[in-house]
Amino acid sequence: MSKWTGKLVIGLTGNIGTGKSVVRRMLEHLGAFGIDADALAHRATAKGAPGYKKVITQFGQWILKEDGEIDRKKLGRLVFSDPKALKILEDIVHPLVIQAVDYIIKHIKHKVIVIEAIKLLESEIKTNCDSIWVTYTPPETQLERLVFRRKMGVLDAKQRIDTQPPQDEKIKAANVVIQNIGSVEETWKQVYENWKKLVPKQVSESEVTLATTQSIRGELTVRRGTPRRSSEIAEFLNQFFKNGQMYSRNDIMEMFGEKAFLILQAGETLVGILGWQVENLVARTVDLLILENVPYENAIPLLMNEMERASGELQCEISLLFLNEKMANQERIWQLLGYEKSSPDDLKVSAWVNAAIDSMPDGTKLFFKKLRNDRVLRPI
C-alpha cells in the first residue's frame, strides 16, 4: 500500500522495448501524474548531480566524454556485461531516485501517480504501489524497436535484452498485464479498461474548459486534447503541411504515445493546437499552430499559460519552445511571456541541453523560460 496518504500509486514496469513509456503517457492522458524513474536515474549521475562523483570514483575517468559528462554508452556496455558492476551502479543511483520520487509525490496535487521503472520489482518502490502494471512484447519486437526506433546497434540491443530477467517473472508479479503487441489503439483500449476498473471515480479524458479569453474572433477556449478527437486533430494539422504528408487518425493516436495536446477553439471551431512533451522534468513545446485569422496576442498567451500551469504541476524546471519562423517572429509576445531566444548550448544545465538537442526539429528556433528556481536532484 502507498506510503503517500491520499495517493493511489501505479507501479509500471516491463523489459526494455516493451512500451512502458507509451503506457505511462496514456495513463497521464487519463489523469495520472507520471514519473519516469529511469530518467531520474540518468539525472542522478549528470554533471553536478549527487551521483556524479560517486560513479566516477567507482568506474574511473575513462567513462567521461570531452564535456565532462558521463558517456552512458561506455558505462552501459560495462555494467550490462558485468553483474557486479551493475550492482555497484544501482547502489549509487537507486537511493537518489527514491529520494527524488518521494520529493515529487509530496509536492504534487494529483491523486493518481504512475511510476515507470524498469527495476521496479527489485526496488523498495514496489512495496509502496497499490497496483503493479507490466507491459509485454515478444522478444523479436523488442529487438526491432531498439534497433529501428532507438537506433541501437544489434549487438548492444541483444545484450540489453539478454541481461534482463525473463518477462514471465515480471508478469507473475503483475496485477495488470498490457499486451503491447498490436496497434496503439489496441494498447489504448487495454489501458483505458484497466484504468476504469482501478480508478472508477476519476474523470477520464477530461475535455472541460481549461481557460477562456475574449478576442475580436469571439470567445477563445482552451481544452485538453484527447484520443477521441484524433480525427479532428489530424484534419487540422493537414491544413498546415502541404508537402504531401497527410496525417491520419492512426498517426495522431501514435502521437498521443509521445505528447499531449491543447486545443484552441473559437466557439466549436478548432483554430489552434499546442503539442508538448514533458520528459525528465523539462517541458518541450514541439507544435504551436494557429490559424492566421486568429489574433496571436490573445491566442498564444492563452495556450502558453495553460501549458505552463500543467507543466508546473508536473514539477518541470524549464519550458523549451521549438518554433517555426512565423511563430518565432512574434518576439513581443514571447518577451511579455518571459521567454528568451536561445541555443541548446546556452542552457548550461546538461539535462536541459540534452532535452533541447534530442527534441529540436530541423528549421525551428529555440526559446526558453525557467519555471522554477529549485531543482530536483540538485547537487547536495
User: Average pLDDT, whole number, for the chain?
Assistant: 86
261: three-class secondary structure by DSSP: strand
Q: Which residue has the higher pLDDT, 270 or 209?
A: 270
Percent of the chain surpassing pLDDT 70: 92
pLDDT at 214: 47
pLDDT at 207 over 80: no
DSSP 167: H
Domain boundaries, the chain: 8-198, 209-370
CATH of domain 209-370: 3.40.630.30
* Nearest partner of 105 among 46, 40, 15, 47, judged by Cα: 40
pTM, entire model: 0.77
CATH superfamily, domain at 8-198: P-loop containing nucleotide triphosphate hydrolases (3.40.50.300)
Q: Which residues contact 282 (CB under 8 A, 6 or more apart)?
A: 316, 317, 318, 320, 351, 352, 355
pLDDT at 296: 93
Q: Which residues contact 176 (CB under 8 A, 6 or more apart)?
A: 131, 132, 133, 134, 194, 198
pLDDT digits 0-9 by tens, 223-233: 988 888 899 99
CA dihedral 83, 89, 94, 95 (to 10 degrees): 130
Task: Kindly state the cell numbers that stand for 217.
Answer: 474572433
9: left (phi over 0), alpha (psi -120 to 50) or beta: beta
